[in-house]
Chain A
Amino acid sequence: MHLAEILELEARLSADREREDDELWRRERAIVAAQPEKWREDTPRNEQTRAWLRALPEDERTDTSGWIAGLRWSRRALLLAGVIVGGGLAAGLLRYDGTHPINVLPWIAILVILPLLTSVVSAIALIALQRSGTSRRGDISLFIPIARVFLWLSERFTDPSTRQRMRGIRARLASTEGFPRSGRESKQRKPSPADEDASRWRSAVESYRTRRGAYPGLEARIAFSAAQLFSIALSVSALVVLVTRVVSSDLAFGWSTTLSLQPERLRALTDILSVPFAWLVGHAPSEELIEATRYVRLERGYTATGASSTGSGPWWSFLFWSALCWGLLPRVALLLVNEGLRRRYQRALPPLTPDVEALLHRLRTPLVEFEAEREDPGDDAPLPLSPAREIELPQDARRALVFRWRDAAFDDATIDAILARRHGLRSGTLHDAGGLSFESEDTGLASLRELDPLDPVAIFVESWETPDRAMARLIERIRRAGTNRPILVFGSAGDAADNSLWRDYLGQLHDPYLSFKPFEEANDEQRGEQ
């Protein structure tokens, strides 16, 4: 993965942590539905993650170009700094005013030996970095003391208004574990905006510390490459200055030191340093040259100890090649190796962190959804205000036409007994209604014509049998067949809720001659009368 992709992935995962799982599942499944072939179990993790980043809805993409541009610009700044430092350094080291020769020892020390040593240290660091693998733990321990010092100084040496202006930055720094806030701030037990800032930053810092543990060495590798770039720029710049000075002016080189460095020792050093290029260009300083170009400072000037300093020209090529071979090339090699390792490392990214694991699980696992196509409108009508009520039977009612609703389990004797005891009525032929056959119901309705207009119709129902439109139809047919004769609906064996359903349903028919009598209640009344 490219750095931009890693940054975007981390930004997206961080934002996703605040979202509901359902949302994430839906988003991922929609992405998969668009290109199902990309999300098979055997597709490599990094390919899937990259494809996922590209497939994210536009409003969920995180623009990391600012970060990448920032990184690019900091690299350029480092390069420029290297050029300036290298050029300045070389110009200083090669300063020549004709009064004394250019001392080659500082050049060798600063642009050859020192880079060589730092390259060795860098190579060791690179090996250690490579070997350490995942052992690095996210830590910002250096940040804590710096933050503490800054806050302490700002507390001690700034006036209150300045501190107020610095509230934001102080809050961010104070969010670092362990730094005390001032007494005045701490008294605010209710969270202030600064406290909220601090809390947010604390959480962000903790999250960052956790997350960077997932990319062990990545930051170090980036920093390593940047350091090499700086060194390369420095060396190149110094070499360019050297060549420019050599070409554009007549320089004299010599060597001089307060230390007791014998020419033989320097010769040995230059011989060693010349090993990589001596075979190529044959420019190791000779013993004679070293002897001849040694000089010392006397009271008012410089005196060459050798026969002459005019033949010091071969020094410049030595300086050039040694700085090139020992200062520049190792850095180039380190940069190339590090970049190669970084690319290889990044190819294996993202790491299988819990967040990435959850993401891949969402991408690779079908989601079963249970939804209603639309909401059930339901019957939200309020209950009728006037449920079916009691009605009085006419005094001279003698006989009742009886229907047994939906095969209600009442035998003739029971029905006779209830009608006789409760209302002093005789029952006629028993008719069935509400079943598959309409024959009995039709016969019953036909017999209504033979009945006295005041005689009631009794319908025996089992209350647990919920009233429905078939019942309404029966009542309507009874009404169509005759006068406003009373209709008594006797319900039995139901509980209070069932009886209530019947009362409400019959009440909705708005028939003033329609009554519902729960059967149990009727029995009780009968017992009371007895």
Chain B
Amino acid sequence: MSSAANNELESANRQRASIAVVGRVNRGKSSVVATLTENRNVKISHKARTTTETVAYPVRVDGELLFTVYDTPGFEDAAGAIRWVREHANDLPPQQALRAFYDTWLGKADFREECELLKPLLDGAAIFYVVDISTPYRANHQAELLFLSWTGAPIVIVLNQIGEENHLESWREALASTYPVSLRFDPYRAGWPDRRRLLMTITEAAPHLEADIRAVIEALAFERQRRLREAGRIITRMLIAAVTLHRNVVIDELDEVEDHQRSLEREFHEELRRLEASAWQELQRLYLHEGAAAAHSQLRFEDREAGDLFSEKTWEEHGLDPLALMGVTTAAGALTGGVIDAAVGGASFMAGTALGALSGAGAGLYGLKRRYASATSIGQTFKNIVQGQKGGRKIRIGPHPSPNLPFVLLNRAVQQLDAVRNWAHANPEFPGMREEVIGDLNRSMTQEDRRHLHASFQSLRKNYEAPQLQVQRALRQTVTELLERLYRGEAVR
């Protein structure tokens, strides 16, 4: 094979693996790139000319390049560039004419942006041409489109709406006949289905890229699945840490016990809040929102009235439904009693089951409203042991006694996860949590799931010093399965 053919082949390979996002200045190109590549470090600003050079955003699977998205500076003078080409390279084929243009103007102030955005295009990148449909179509856009069409690359029109007005129809009417492949894409609100659709749109403009684009989508979907499992791990870790949290303090005999108790209670609940906030931050990091994580968590963390972990509203919204909670604790009690009944060969006439169910229901009722744990003084025990020695009193708190706490934490974590999963990377503002997630979660959680979770939490609480690894593992499995069930439909949506 000749060297020219080799170069052509290499060029074709490169073409399959890259997309250049181009358009006029301030049309949201960088926002599209940020959301498409999940990169919060893309510079985005309402100020014009935020992007001054072409920057490659490669997406790799285990270090192997999957595809590259290029963020390019906006067109500054496409008509001027076309005029130069017509005057100086009119006899050349379009691609060669563009190459001549590039070679002539590279490194010079005039047409600097056009040369920058030509770099990936001359290497065969497909084109996302971003327009703002909140402004009406004007015929002068044809200059940029003509310039782009000379590259021979497939062109997809990305219809971005930055402002309030909507001129979609004028854009569609003007461009549909020449550039039939277009898609509305809001980089500030786009979720995974929108991203996937945008990528698939390339295959309409360039069917020969279908296999590659499908591979890209498959890898991205796989990555989302991986992150979901990681999220399950993070949430489980937080739940285990929260359910087994305990503190002991030894104070002087003469100190006021109550003061220390209150102080320990404050510290204990602050620690639970910190555990939750830390898990939320981990989730945000997992979904590559690290830059925005701290500000957001702080905001929620200080919103004590409404969003605080221990507020009444939070427990009402996120805790188990009272009937469900009692159902879980009653069933767990009945099961324990049933084991005793079985052990005595039924000689107890099911009294164990009945008593177990009753005590479980009682425990559920007791824990229902108990949002705060109390510190208790157990100094007397130690006085007996050391007999007269000024050993001090011991105050202890935890694990938190409420069976509802882990469910509150789980629900809130899932809500947070849902928000960060759907948080477009171009959007600097946290989109807020969807209330309906809790309903979705509760619907996907069977009574058996609740029983498993409750049993795991009980076991962890009981063995809070050395939580059993098999219980930890079982809890992680249940949480991950719940999350997978919750988002099962996503892959086909």
Chain A interface residues toward B at CB < 8 A = 20-22, 29-30, 32-33, 134, 137-139, 148, 152, 155-156, 177-178, 180-183, 185-187, 206, 209-211, 213-214, 351-354, 357-358, 361, 365-379, 406-409, 434-438, 462, 464-470, 473, 495, 497, 501, 505
Give Cα distance in the complex from A377 to B285, angstroms.
24
> Which B residues are CB-close (under 8 A) to A182?
390-392
> Which B residues are CB-close (under 8 A) to A358?
233
**Residues B39 and A372 in contact, CB atoms below 8 Å apart:** yes
**Residues A206 and B465 in contact, CB atoms below 8 Å apart:** yes
Q: How would residues 441 to 482 of chain B score, 1 for a CB under 8 Å from any chain A CB and 0 otherwise?
A: 000000000000000000000010111111011001000000
**Shortest Cβ distance from B25 into A: residue:** A466
Give Cα distance in the complex from A434 to B79, angstroms.
7
> Which A residues are CB-close (under 8 A) to B80?
469-470, 473
**Residues B465 and A177 in contact, CB atoms below 8 Å apart:** yes
**Residues B465 and A209 in contact, CB atoms below 8 Å apart:** yes
Give Cα distance in the complex from A442 to B26, angstroms.
28
**Residues B467 and A210 in contact, CB atoms below 8 Å apart:** yes
**Residues A406 and B140 in contact, CB atoms below 8 Å apart:** yes
**Residues B83 and A379 in contact, CB atoms below 8 Å apart:** no
Give Cα distance in the complex from A235 to B453, angstroms.
55
- 5 more CB-based (< 8 A) A-B contacts, given A368-B66, A370-B38: A183-B253, A209-B466, A210-B466, A353-B472, A378-B43
> Which A residues are CB-close (under 8 A) to B249?
186
**Residues A436 and B140 in contact, CB atoms below 8 Å apart:** yes
Q: Flag whether B430 is at the interface (Cβ < 8 A).
A: no
Q: Quick one: which of A186, A206, A372, A379 contacts B252, CB cutoff 8 A?
A: A186
Known A29-B62, A435-B139; judge A210-B469 contact (CB<8 A): yes
Question: How far is the CB of A277 from the nearest CB of chain B, in Å?
Answer: 48
**Residues A21 and B60 in contact, CB atoms below 8 Å apart:** no
Contact segment of B88-96, B218-226, B320-328: B218-226
Q: Flag whether B130 is at the interface (Cβ < 8 A).
A: no
**Residues B63 and A152 in contact, CB atoms below 8 Å apart:** no
Give Cα distance in the complex from A22 to B285, angstroms.
9
**Shortest Cβ distance from B111 into A: residue:** A469
Q: Flag whether B48 is at the interface (Cβ < 8 A).
A: yes
Question: How far is the CB of B371 from the nearest CB of chain A, in Å?
Answer: 26
Q: Quick one: which of A353, A376, A473 contacts B469, CB cutoff 8 A?
A: A353
**Residues B473 and A357 in contact, CB atoms below 8 Å apart:** yes
**Residues B62 and A436 in contact, CB atoms below 8 Å apart:** no
> Which A residues are CB-close (under 8 A) to B472?
353-354
**Residues B48 and A466 in contact, CB atoms below 8 Å apart:** yes
Interface centre among B41, B59, B230, B250 (most CB of A within 10 A): B250
Contact segment of B50-58, B181-189, B269-277, B346-354: B50-58
**Residues A206 and B59 in contact, CB atoms below 8 Å apart:** no
Give Cα distance in the complex from A468 to B466, angstroms.
66
Q: Flag whether B128 is at the interface (Cβ < 8 A).
A: no
**Residues A369 and B469 in contact, CB atoms below 8 Å apart:** no
Q: Flag whether B24 is at the interface (Cβ < 8 A).
A: yes
> Which A residues are CB-close (under 8 A) to B255?
187
Q: Size class of B's contact patch?
A: 35 or more
> Which B residues are CB-close (under 8 A) to A436?
79, 82, 139-140, 142-143, 146
Contact segment of B69-77, B98-106, B152-160: B69-77
Q: Flag whether B136 is at the interface (Cβ < 8 A).
A: yes
Listed A/B pairs (15) with beta-carbon separation below 8 Å: A21-B286, A32-B62, A137-B463, A137-B466, A156-B389, A186-B249, A186-B251, A210-B468, A354-B476, A365-B226, A369-B61, A434-B79, A436-B143, A438-B79, A466-B24
> Which B residues are CB-close (under 8 A) to A214?
469
> Which A residues are CB-close (under 8 A) to B135?
462, 464-465
Give Cα distance in the complex from A365 to B230, angstroms.
11
**Residues B41 and A372 in contact, CB atoms below 8 Å apart:** yes
Chain B interface residues toward A at CB < 8 A = 24-26, 30, 37-39, 41-43, 46-53, 55-63, 66, 71, 74-80, 82-83, 110, 113, 135-136, 138-140, 142-143, 146, 163, 219-220, 222-223, 226, 229-230, 233-234, 236, 248-255, 282, 285-286, 288, 382, 385-386, 389-392, 394, 463, 465-470, 472-473, 476
> Which B residues are CB-close (under 8 A) to A465?
135, 138
> Which A residues are CB-close (under 8 A) to B382?
180
Give Cα distance in the complex from A208 to B250, angstroms.
24
> Which A residues are CB-close (under 8 A) to B163?
464, 495
Interface centre among A186, A374, A376 (most CB of B within 10 A): A376
**Shortest Cβ distance from B472 into A: residue:** A354
Question: How far is the CB of A369 from the nearest CB of chain B, in Å?
Answer: 5
Known A358-B233, A378-B52; judge A213-B466 contact (CB<8 A): yes
- State the 7 A-B residue pairs at the shortest beta-carbon distance, nearest first: A368-B223, A469-B76, A209-B466, A180-B391, A407-B138, A470-B77, A435-B140
> Which A residues are CB-close (under 8 A) to B469?
210-211, 213-214, 351, 353-354
Give Cα distance in the complex from A423 to B113, angstroms.
37
Question: How far is the CB of A498 from the nearest CB of chain B, in Å?
Answer: 9
**Residues A183 and B391 in contact, CB atoms below 8 Å apart:** yes
**Residues A366 and B219 in contact, CB atoms below 8 Å apart:** yes
**Residues A368 and B220 in contact, CB atoms below 8 Å apart:** yes
**Residues A177 and B140 in contact, CB atoms below 8 Å apart:** no
Give Cα distance in the complex from A368 to B192, angstroms.
15
Give Cα distance in the complex from A183 to B253, angstroms.
7
Question: How far is the CB of A144 from the nearest CB of chain B, in Å?
Answer: 11
**Residues B83 and A438 in contact, CB atoms below 8 Å apart:** yes
Q: Quick one: which of B234, B286, B389, B466 contacts A155, CB cutoff 8 A?
A: B389
Known A186-B252, A210-B469; judge A370-B113 contact (CB<8 A): no
Q: Quick one: which of A181, A375, A438 contacts B41, CB cutoff 8 A?
A: A375
Give Cα distance in the complex from A214 to B472, angstroms.
11
Question: How far is the CB of B367 from the nearest CB of chain A, in Å?
Answer: 24
Known A358-B233, A435-B143, A468-B74; judge A369-B465 contact (CB<8 A): no
Give Cα distance in the complex from A475 to B264, angstroms.
72
> Which A residues are CB-close (under 8 A) to B42?
372, 376
**Shortest Cβ distance from A375 into B: residue:** B41
**Residues A352 and B473 in contact, CB atoms below 8 Å apart:** yes
**Shortest Cβ distance from A206 into B: residue:** B465
**Residues A468 and B25 in contact, CB atoms below 8 Å apart:** yes
**Shortest Cβ distance from B71 into A: residue:** A376
Give Cα distance in the complex from A466 to B78, angstroms.
14
**Shortest Cβ distance from B135 into A: residue:** A464
Give Cα distance in the complex from A166 to B473, angstroms.
40
Give Cα distance in the complex from A289 to B476, angstroms.
73
Give Cα distance in the complex from A437 to B146, angstroms.
12
Q: Quick one: which of A180, A211, A467 contacts B392, CB cutoff 8 A?
A: A180
Give Cα distance in the complex from A329 to B146, angstroms.
95
> Which A residues are CB-close (under 8 A) to B25?
466, 468
Q: Quick one: which of A367, A437, A467 contacts B61, CB cutoff 8 A?
A: A367
**Residues B136 and A409 in contact, CB atoms below 8 Å apart:** yes
Known A152-B389, A372-B42, A373-B58; judge A473-B77 contact (CB<8 A): yes
Give Cα distance in the complex from A407 to B25, angstroms.
17
> Which B residues are CB-close (under 8 A) to A367?
61-62, 223, 226
Give Cα distance in the complex from A370 to B51, angstroms.
19
> Which B residues are CB-close (under 8 A) to A374?
55-56
Q: Quick one: which of A20, A376, A437, A501 contacts B43, CB cutoff 8 A?
A: A376
Known A352-B473, A376-B43; judge A186-B60 contact (CB<8 A): no
> Which B residues are CB-close (under 8 A) to A406?
138, 140
Give Cα distance in the complex from A358 to B477, angstroms.
12
Question: How far is the CB of A293 from the nearest CB of chain B, in Å?
Answer: 58
> Which A residues are CB-close (under 8 A) to B26?
466, 501
